[in-house]
Structure 1
């Protein structure tokens, strides 16, 4: 499908660059009115996942959107709530699931979540497929977007026919390139924010699994790459950060995606370099379309004119899912 490069800017003048466009919504946007109903499901390894359901205004529409959040996010992040609110208003039920350890309670096993844990996404989808839904759409943000694309590529033509489309935003399709990008001085604010929540989780987990996690190794963690190399990779069966990135980067899985899929990334995304996207593969793909916006930041996309609190990304999602 063709690469679509939009020329018109999205953001207001007072958010002049990708950093402001990423940080402002994360800190200051408030989304009210979303009501969740939590369901806890058990994983094959006797862990659990917390699923938050929010039901649309048309209870019998038969349409469900499954939303996967980003690194150290959860179902209450503003980009999730804003999307759920608009989709609910337009007849979609929504299932915003929380990755292991992200739903407000530490998970039970030594493992956490990671960028390629598609087995957990599959468990969530299989749960949804037992319901009455005739149409299921997958939405992913940042890490959740990479996870969604990887899952679709792994499933290929074997994907359940009720899963109709996918839409992902601000996707780190090359995990190594993005991990190295976030080390840059101008991006360290994001890296430290992630590490400030990841490190306490490691400490809490080490108390229960001292044979798997050595807290003293934290002294070697100065970057997200270090964290992935020392903790993420060995805890999830990878031989270091580079092996983890190569095994889980969605750019290696997009070839086999078999349903209509849209990827939306901003060219000024401070976390995901535009040059890291597999542009040649995307241009040649029959099912996957890349929309490259000039601005919007990372999971930002606040429009110049805000109507009913709806962001540009949410308007595009409703248009895409309603086709």
Structure 2
């Protein structure tokens, strides 16, 4: 007996329907439906599910396909009278080109996850310097090594003290071993420039040595590190590049300092800008809540590494029960940072309030489909009215990923920042560094 016959018999015997003689249109429709093979139903449901999944994960493969895999144009936002655009950004071919994501990573979520779990980072070695801050904290400064960049003497690399130095500030719970950090550092050392990763306190395998922890608005460490490096290389152009939460710290630092700063130029990649809006975004959708859970697990792992200190300063039991980043900030970050509420912390530490005060050349890069840092927090108008800022936005790219090419070995934002800094370095718009200031309480120990 066929599947269709079984269904007809079931309806006739159990419910008393006279399928053959009934004049009801619904019964006739049901009769026709039973004639369709079950394999066709399965195929239909599969297509519906795949369509749902395609849109849910924000795939854009067909969009790329129908555009001939030419990619989407990069949108630049800047002041129409900006000399920074005329002298620097207008000469950046990458910023005036298109971005095409790796076809088999044509989803912001696939890009972001691939970067986190694989990343295809280039081989890179660091030379570590332990830097002691005035309050007794310890920061690991990892200097990227390039064996071909200088002359080797007694087993050490000696380079020109006037060559540019790039300070990189990673994102939340990231350090110098993160794939995207290595991609950028590798690109910079190929320029024969110095690049140093300023790891956050407690990261990079370093213990917390004071009662101070870093947070999304903590600018004292980058301020002290920049002064220290400027004092060591007073003749070298100094650049600073921040990524994700590190970008928020960098932009806030630039806005706080204004023109009185030894920085020649900067870049901020995938900055959240407004931490309050970003918090609301992470608690809005199913996918964003997944990222929120992952970030929370990373923060809890960070907390466990420094339990002896953090358990003394904050609510340890509640920290371990945290289910969201907001929970962690409420029971740890807010208490250690002495903020009244979590929202107070988010508002005071958001860099969006400092964008208008940036006085050095700054390139900001953001992806509209970033699944972690929403486009709603991007300060479009503030960037447009500040002549020192070029805001570059792409339709795709994910969070800090921007993989390109079939082999996904390059990150678009790395090439864009590298080109921007290179052209800026040879232009007349370099922000002139101030005289090196003495730091009485800073101690550096090479390891």
Asked whether 1:171 is paired with 2:245, we answer no
CA RMSD of aligned residues (A): 2.1
Q: Which residue of 1 aligns with 2:77?
A: 3
Instruction: Report if the CA contact (8 A) 2:254-2:359 is conserved.
Output: yes
What is the DSSP-based 3-state SS (H/G/I as helix, E as strand, rest coil) of the residue aligned with 1:51? strand
What is the DSSP-based 3-state SS (H/G/I as helix, E as strand, rest coil) of the residue aligned with 1:158? coil
Q: Which residue of 1 aligns with 2:382?
A: 281
Pairs within 5 Å for 1:54-203: 54-56=144-146, 57=149, 59-60=159-160, 62-132=163-233, 133-160=235-262, 163-183=263-283, 184-203=285-304
Shift of 1:227: 1.2
Q: Deviations over 1:113-141 (max 9, x none)?
A: 10111000011111111223521111110
Q: Which residue of 1 aligns with 2:110?
A: 20
What is the DSSP-based 3-state SS (H/G/I as helix, E as strand, rest coil) of the residue aligned with 1:181? helix
Q: Deviations over 1:141-187 (max 9, x none)?
A: 00010000000000101112xx2110111100011111221223212
Shift of 1:30: 2.8
Tell me which moved more, 190-199 or 272-281. Answer: 190-199
Question: Judging changes above 3 Å, is the alpha-carbon distance between structure 1 residues 11 and 210 closer, same or farther for their aligned structure 2 residues?
Answer: closer
Q: Which has the higher contact order (CA 8 A, sep 6+)?
A: 1
Matching residue within 403, 411, 415 for 1:302: 403
In 2, the alpha carbon distance for the partners of 1:191 and 1:277 equals 20
In 1, the alpha carbon distance for the partners of 2:269 and 2:116 equals 15
- Which ranges of structure 1 fall in alignment gaps of 5 or more residues? none
Shift of 1:46: 1.1
Question: Judging changes above 3 Å, is the alpha-carbon distance between structure 1 residues 186 and 211 closer, same or farther for their aligned structure 2 residues?
Answer: same
- Which ranges of structure 2 fall in alignment gaps of 5 or more residues? 1-75, 79-94, 151-158, 424-447
Provide TM-score, normalisation by structure 2.
Answer: 0.68
Pairs within 5 Å for 1:200-211: 200-208=301-309, 210-211=311-312
Question: Judging changes above 3 Å, is the alpha-carbon distance between structure 1 residues 266 and 215 closer, same or farther for their aligned structure 2 residues?
Answer: same
Asked whether 1:316 is paired with 2:390, we answer no
Provide TM-score, normalisation by structure 1.
Answer: 0.92
In 2, the alpha carbon distance for the partners of 1:24 and 1:208 equals 34
Q: Which residue of 1 aligns with 2:392?
A: 291
Q: Which residue of 2 aligns with 1:254?
A: 355
Instruction: Report if the CA contact (8 A) 2:315-2:331 is conserved.
Output: no
Tell me which moved more, 267-276 or 194-203. Answer: 194-203
Shift of 1:314: 1.4
User: What count of residue pairs does the alignment treat as equivalent?
Assistant: 320
In 2, the alpha carbon distance for the partners of 1:245 and 1:33 equals 37
In 2, the alpha carbon distance for the partners of 1:46 and 1:202 equals 19
What is the DSSP-based 3-state SS (H/G/I as helix, E as strand, rest coil) of the residue aligned with 1:134? coil
Q: Which residue of 2 aligns with 1:36?
A: 126
Q: Deviations over 1:217-237 (max 9, x none)?
A: 236522111211221111012
In 1, the alpha carbon distance for the partners of 2:199 and 2:237 equals 21
Q: Which residue of 2 aligns with 1:228?
A: 329
Instruction: Report if the CA contact (8 A) 1:230-1:240 is conserved.
Output: no
Instruction: Report if the CA contact (8 A) 2:167-2:241 is conserved.
Output: yes
Q: Deviations over 1:234-293 (max 9, x none)?
A: 101211211111111010011111111010000000111112211111111110111010
Shift of 1:212: 2.0
Instruction: Report if the CA contact (8 A) 2:363-2:417 is conserved.
Output: no
Tell me which moved more, 178-187 or 247-256. Answer: 178-187
Shift of 1:310: 3.0
In 1, the alpha carbon distance for the partners of 2:137 and 2:307 equals 17
Instruction: Report if the CA contact (8 A) 1:6-1:293 is conserved.
Output: no
Instruction: Report if the CA contact (8 A) 2:363-2:392 is conserved.
Output: yes
Tell me which moved more, 203-212 or 101-110. Answer: 203-212
Q: Which residue of 1 aligns with 2:318?
A: 217
Instruction: Report if the CA contact (8 A) 1:29-1:78 is conserved.
Output: yes
